């Protein structure tokens, strides 16, 4: 549930602001990591293993003496990259399929049954299968997460398309002899893009969590490339003696997922004010 506060004639959507702030923080950290990090995130120094937070090592060092803060910064790049590509694949493939099922009854049954079948394979399971066949890599994780997210876009866009096709202006366009592709481009797509944007934000949060889970299981980003999920995996053996090794990547994942979920919830309220009035 999102929270919104009305001030005068304007409305401040707190979920949208909070989510945008968290997302902006993750993006800022990723951008800064291209030009600066406190230390070399790949440098192994056995003489500085498992150090706690200090002015030199802000968040301490891991079991190989690598700076945790630097690895978290570089790991944010992997998280955003996987999310952008995975959500892009899902949106590019799922949006036209959703429009097609909403406008064409002949193919709707077949496509929807195919999406039901695809939903039976979660992103993690699909990525594990892909990893076993094609090998573990960031590309494998991106493709698997993207394919697993397609059914959600198909269902959301189909619902929006059916609503648009029942409107008077869509019926008038059909009565005037305008063909299906013209109606889809001129009337359907502009009216369902808000749904696509909201679904993309929610799917991005799922992609972040899925990538972390895959890296934790060893099916995602391979070492030595920093990844939040792999940092969690490397810290599990020292969880009771050095718990901060798991806290820092865990907090990073939680903030990123929370940010995209709040942002998606805020966008939903913004594009559908009826939800706000019901609250």
User: Is residue 11 very low, low, confident or very high in pLDDT (cuts 50, 70, 90)?
Assistant: low
Which residues have a Cβ under 8 Å from the Cβ of 183 and sit 6 or more positions away? 103, 165, 170, 173, 174
Beta strand 10-13 with 4-7 is: antiparallel
The distance of Cα 147 from the centroid of its chain, to the nearest Å, equals 13
The DSSP code for 222 is P
Say if residue 2's pLDDT is above 90: no
pLDDT tens column, 231-246? 999 998 888 999 999 9
Range 149-166 average pLDDT: 90
Among 62, 74, 76, residue whose Cα is nearest residue 35: 74
Q: Which domains does the chain have, with CATH numbers?
A: 51-278 (1.10.3720.10)
Give the pLDDT confidence score for residue 134 in this predicted structure: 80
Q: 111 pLDDT band (50/70/90 cuts)?
A: confident
What span, in angstroms and rounded, lies between the C-alpha atoms of 138 and 82? 7
Q: Assign 7 a pLDDT band (cuts: 50, 70, 90).
A: very low
> According to the per-residue pLDDT averaged within each range, which of 19-23, 109-113, 132-136 is highest?
19-23
Looking at per-residue pLDDT, the higher value among 149 and 119 belongs to 149
- Backbone phi, psi, residue 10, to 5°: -105, 165
Residue that wins the pLDDT comparison between 125 and 247: 247
DSSP code string of 91-115: HHHHHHHHHHHHH-HHHHHHHHHHH
Supply the pLDDT for residue 8.
39
Mean pLDDT of 58-73: 94
């Amino acid at each position: 549930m999102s929270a919104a506060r009305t001030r005068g004639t304007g409305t401040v959507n707190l979920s949208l602001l909070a989510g945008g702030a968290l997302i902006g923080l993750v993006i800022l950290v990723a951008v800064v990591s291209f030009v600066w990090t406190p230390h070399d995130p790949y440098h192994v120094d056995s003489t500085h293993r498992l150090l706690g937070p200090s002015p030199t090592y802000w968040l301490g060092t891991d079991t190989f003496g690598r700076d945790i803060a630097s690895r978290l910064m570089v790991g944010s790049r992997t998280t955003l990259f996987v999310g952008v590509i995975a959500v892009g694949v899902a949106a590019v493939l799922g949006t036209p399929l959703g429009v097609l099922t909403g406008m064409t009854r002949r193919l709707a049954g077949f496509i929807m049954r195919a999406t039901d079948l695809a939903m039976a394979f979660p992103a993690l399971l699909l990525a594990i299968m892909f990893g076993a066949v094609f090998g573990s890599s960031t590309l494998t994780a991106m493709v698997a997460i993207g394919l697993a997210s397609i059914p959600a876009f198909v269902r959301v866009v189909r619902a929006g398309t059916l609503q648009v096709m029942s409107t008077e202006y869509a019926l008038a366009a059909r009565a005037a002899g305008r063909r299906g592709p013209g109606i889809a481009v001129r009337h359907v797509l502009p009216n369902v893009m808000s749904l696509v944007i909201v679904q993309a934000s929610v799917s991005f949060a799922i992609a972040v969590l899925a990538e972390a889970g895959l890296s934790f299981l060893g099916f995602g980003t391979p070492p030595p490339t920093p990844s939040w999920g792999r940092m969690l995996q490397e810290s599990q053996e020292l969880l009771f003696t050095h718990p901060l090794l798991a806290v820092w990547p865990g907090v990073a994942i939680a903030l990123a997922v929370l940010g995209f979920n709040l942002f998606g919830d805020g966008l939903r309220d913004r594009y559908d004010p009826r939800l706000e009035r019901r609250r």
